[in-house]
């Protein structure tokens, strides 16, 4: 019997795709923590593996929830972070419409500069 061998190519890890939205969120959080101590910001973890997702949904996780919530005097707003090529899912779009209908603001942010602008107006 001939033993099948793996090719050398199989041992080379595939180029890992970057996580541009995660990286953008980290940049925004770092800037906020250094520059806006007078406001409150927190993230909304809303991604998980399927097994954990059911557990989190039971405890209040909401699919499509924006990534960040920012509270400043007399105003709260929501931030959805997207890469330059990223698009909002149908769930996100529907929730953004509902947030809007409650007279609350939700912004889609694609750059740190855009985030900084929202936090300085």
Within a domain: 65:
yes
Is the pLDDT at 94 greater than 90? The verdict is: yes
| Structural domain range at position 98 | 19-118
- Residue 6 belongs to some domain of the structure: no
Residue 81 lies in a domain: yes
For a pLDDT cut of 90, what percent of the chain falls above it?
A: 64
CA nearest to 24, candidates 5, 3, 37, 43: 43
In a domain, 8, yes or no: no
Please indicate, yes or no, if residue 14 is contained in any of the structural domains: no
In this prediction, residue 51 carries a pLDDT of 64
Find, among 53, 52, 78, 76, the residue nearest to 63 by Cα: 53
Residue 25 lies in a domain: yes
| Residue 87 pLDDT greater than 70, yes or no | yes
Is a pLDDT exceeding 60 seen at residue 116?
A: yes
Question: Quick check: 65 and 45 in contact, CB under 8 A?
Answer: no
User: What does the buried/exposed string (b/e) look like for 29-57 if buried means 16 or more CB atoms within 10 Å of the residue's CB?
Assistant: beebeeeeeeeebeeeebeeeeeeeeebe
pLDDT at 108: 96
Weakest-pLDDT range from 22-36, 47-61, 63-77, 93-107: 47-61
Task: Give DSSP secondary structure letters for 78-91.
Answer: EEEE--TT----HH
Rg (CA), the chain: 19
Instruction: At 39, list the tokens.
Output: 């406001």
Closest alpha carbon to 80 in 105, 103, 100, 109: 109
pLDDT at residue 61, rounded to an integer? 79
The CATH number that applies at residue 81 is 3.40.1350.10
Percent of the chain with pLDDT over 70: 79
Indicate whether 3 belongs to any domain: no
**Number of domains observed in the structure of the chain:** 1
């Amino acid at each position: 019997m001939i033993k099948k061998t793996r090719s050398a190519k199989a041992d080379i890890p595939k180029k890992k795709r970057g996580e541009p939205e995660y990286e953008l969120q980290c940049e925004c959080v770092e800037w906020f923590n250094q520059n806006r101590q007078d406001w409150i910001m927190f993230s909304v973890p809303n991604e998980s593996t399927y097994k954990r997702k059911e557990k989190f949904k039971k405890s209040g996780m909401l699919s499509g929830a924006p990534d960040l919530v920012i509270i400043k005097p007399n105003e709260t707003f929501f931030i959805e972070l997207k890469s330059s090529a990223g698009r909002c899912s149908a769930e996100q779009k529907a929730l953004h419409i509902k947030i809007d209908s409650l007279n609350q603001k939700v912004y889609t942010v694609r750059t740190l500069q855009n985030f900084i602008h929202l936090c300085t107006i």
